[in-house]
Amino acid sequence: MKTTVLGLGVVLVAAGLIGVAVYADHDEDEKVEELMEKTHEGKRSPYRQLRTQAEAPAPSWQVVERTLPGFEAMSKALQESKNADIKGSADGYVDAVKEIAAATKQKDAKLLRAGFQALSQSCGDCHFKGGVGGELDD
């Protein structure tokens, strides 16, 4: 009986440590998750506003400029993530945001559209094509 209780205790401690490790990893990505939602979801999100401007015949550069801080914060959070999978999947997103910023500075609608296309592609690559997002539920 002592062996069984001791064995059960070891299993419970091990399970608890695994749970703490998983929870700690989740906490490290809380900022990424929060910014992901804030930047990409909803009718008034920077992503939706940028998409509208990228699809417009003549983008409103003032609106595009207002969206940039959200994307830049998201880029920074992805690059600084303690989760190696997230950090390793950030390059496409970061490069696309740089392209969008350059397009905005130059007021180049064609470059803006290309940057937005690259941004959209980076989202799909991560969330649906084997990136870290393959583990996400959306």
Burial of 98 (0-12, 13-18, 19+ CB in 10 A): middle
106 contacts 112 by C-beta, under 8 angstroms:
no
27: three-class secondary structure by DSSP: helix
Looking at residue 12, its amino acid is L
Whole-number Å distance between alpha carbons of 113 and 56? 9
What does the block give as tokens for 17? Answer: 């440590």
pLDDT tens-digit map of 13-33:
343 434 434 444 444 578 888
pLDDT band at 44 (very low <50, low <70, confident <90, very high): very high
- pLDDT score, position 133: 54
pLDDT tens-digit map of 95-117:
999 999 999 999 999 999 999 99
- pLDDT score, position 96: 95
50 contacts 69 by C-beta, under 8 angstroms:
no
